[in-house]
């Protein structure tokens, strides 16, 4: 019988954390009985990996620096009470060998009320506790030093391992995490996590449209509207994202309906597959989108999402631009900026992209080592 693994994931602004968690869960399922506890709004069509149990929490999201309830049946306070109860009940029902939490304690401070009781009980029950981190942490907080210190102390107290889903030759944790108290918990770099579906090789000549995308879409309206207004001699496909607000979707439909050569769609099964033949990509620069750009080798112009306290995409874009993999927009989106990218050949940095398999192997060995020690 496979050991149990409980994976807590909270996506708040877009879909990136959920997409990465599900890619990890798909790989982990060959070695573990995986249950994913999802705390954000879920898209109407969710490609859940086979054999994975999904536990849905009353969804919360971030807005104006605070939590908001996405389900009208709950206030933030009532959602938090229900979530804490469901999280603990799920752990007690499953009694997993490993509990993995996405981003905490390096982020998700507002969810400490449900996560700290889970992790405390997990450690008391003898479960291994692991943090799953993306490549780059946010460093735009007003209390950044205190945040980093609190995260390091909490990690040292409650965690057995930190998995960083990045290639250390590209970026390392200490570049965006600088506490006074050093981390004592081991840190393992897994390489980047990408879906296990292989992509075809890009054609010798790219004949597809220019693809404009905005991740989950919750904060992509401005980019999509600017792209819809461009006068280009190329067909354009706008991928709005499932979380683009309905009013903005309606406005985009109004803008694009009379435009020949401009197609608007809500979502696509695989952005990377769309980009393989695309003439160029215009996008934000979230974790998953950036990896789709690299895997598809598409000429790419990136417009990083930024807001007060959100500098992760800007940092990632700068790193990718430094190695020649993308171009970063400097100023407002215009047709000349897009035309300048079409026909270019991006550099292909040699990065580890087997993060899902490496994560599975690392966690399986962690459990095996614990079992050998108990024998």
**CA–CA distances in Å: residue 122 to residues 87, 89, 119, 187:** 11, 12, 5, 20
Average pLDDT over residues 266-292: 95
% of the chain surpassing 90 pLDDT: 78
Mean pLDDT of the chain: 93
Band of the pLDDT at 310, cuts 50, 70, 90?
Answer: confident
Given a cut of 90, whether residue 200 has pLDDT beyond it is no
Taking each helix axis as running N to C, give the angle between helix 287-296 and helix 312-322, from 0 to 180 degrees, rounded to the nearest 10: 20
The pLDDT assigned to 9 comes to 96
Model pLDDT for residues 215-224, shown as the tens digit of each residue: 888 888 999 9
Mean pLDDT along residues 42-58:
88
- Can you spell out the DSSP letters for 86-152? HHHHHHHHH--SEEEEESTTSS-GGGHHHHHHHHHHHHHTT-EEEEEE-S------TTHHHHHHHHH
- Report the pLDDT averaged over residues 192-214: 91
- What confidence score (pLDDT) does residue 301 get? 98
Opening angle at CA 93, ends 88 and 95, nearest 5: 90
pLDDT surpasses 90 at 41: no
Position 375 confidence tier, pLDDT thresholds 50, 70, 90: low
Q: Does the pLDDT value for residue 14 go beyond 90?
A: no
CA-nearest of 71, 67, 70, 125 to 94 is 125
End-to-end CA distance of the chain: 17
d(CA 333, CA 228): 11
**3-state secondary structure (DSSP) of residue 365:** helix
| Burial per residue of 26-37, b for 16 or more beta-carbon CB atoms within 10 angstroms, e otherwise | bbbbebbbbbbb
Specify the DSSP element, H or E, that contains 56. Answer: strand 53-56
Position 45 pLDDT exceeds 90: no
Say which residue, 328 or 143, is predicted with more confidence: 328
CATH number of the structural domain 4-194+353-374 = 3.40.50.2000
Residue 113, pLDDT > 70, answer: yes
pTM for the whole structure: 0.94
Confidence of residue 131 (pLDDT cuts 50, 70, 90): very high
Nearest residue to 312 (alpha-carbon basis) of 333, 290, 295, 327 = 290
Yes or no: say if 299 and 306 are a contact pair by the CB < 8 Å rule: no
Q: 159-163, 201-205, 338-342: lowest mean pLDDT where?
A: 201-205
pLDDT over 70 percentage in the chain: 99
Three-class SS of residue 301? strand
Distance CA 36, CA 10 (A): 10
CATH architecture designation of domain 210-339: 3-Layer(aba) Sandwich (3.40)
Q: Is 210-339 the same fold as 4-194+353-374? A: yes
Whether the per-residue pLDDT at 194 is higher than 70: the answer is yes
pLDDT score at 141: 82
Domain locations along the chain? 4-194+353-374, 210-339
Give the pLDDT score at 187: 98
pLDDT digits (tens, 9 = 90+) for 15-35: 889 999 999 999 999 999 999
Query: d(Cα 175, Cα 106) in Å, to the nearest integer?
Result: 13
């Amino acid at each position: 019988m496979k050991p149990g693994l409980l994976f807590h994931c909270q996506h708040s602004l877009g879909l990136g954390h959920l997409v990465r968690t599900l890619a990890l869960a798909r790989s982990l399922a060959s070695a573990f009985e995986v249950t994913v506890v999802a705390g954000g709004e879920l898209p109407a069509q969710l490609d859940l990996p086979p054999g994975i149990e999904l536990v849905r929490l009353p969804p919360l999201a971030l807005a104006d620096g605070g939590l908001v309830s996405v389900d009208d049946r709950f206030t933030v306070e009532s959602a938090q009470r229900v979530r804490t109860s469901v999280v603990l009940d799920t752990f007690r029902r499953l009694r997993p060998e490993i509990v993995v939490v996405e981003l905490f304690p390096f982020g998700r401070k507002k969810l400490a009320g449900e996560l700290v009781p889970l992790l405390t009980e997990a450690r008391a029950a003898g479960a291994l506790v692991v943090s799953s981190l993306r490549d780059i942490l946010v460093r735009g907080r007003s209390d950044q030093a205190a945040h980093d210190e609190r995260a390091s102390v909490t990690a040292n107290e409650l965690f057995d391992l930190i998995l960083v889903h990045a290639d250390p030759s590209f970026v390392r944790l200490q570049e965006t995490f600088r506490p006074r108290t050093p981390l004592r918990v081991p840190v393992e770099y897994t390489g980047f996590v990408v879906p296990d579906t292989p992509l075809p090789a890009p054609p010798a000549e790219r004949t597809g449209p220019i693809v404009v995308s905005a991740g989950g879409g919750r904060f992509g309206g401005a980019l999509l509207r600017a792209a819809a207004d461009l006068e280009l001699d190329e067909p354009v496909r706008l991928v709005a994202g499932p979380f683009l607000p309905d009013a903005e979707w309606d406005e985009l439909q109004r803008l694009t309906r009379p435009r020949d050569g401009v197609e608007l769609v809500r979502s696509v099964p695989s952005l990377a597959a769309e980009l393989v033949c695309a003439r160029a990509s215009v996008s934000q620069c979230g974790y998953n989108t950036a990896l789709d750009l690299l895997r598809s080798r598409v000429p790419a112009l990136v417009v990083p999402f930024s807001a007060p306290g959100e500098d992760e995409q800007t940092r990632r874009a700068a790193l990718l631009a430094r190695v020649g993999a993308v171009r970063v927009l400097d100023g407002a989106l215009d047709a000349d900026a897009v035309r300048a990218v079409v026909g270019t050949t991006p550099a292909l940095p040699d990065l580890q992209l087997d993060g899902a398999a490496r994560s599975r192997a690392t966690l399986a060995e962690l459990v095996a080592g614990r079992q050998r020690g108990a024998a």
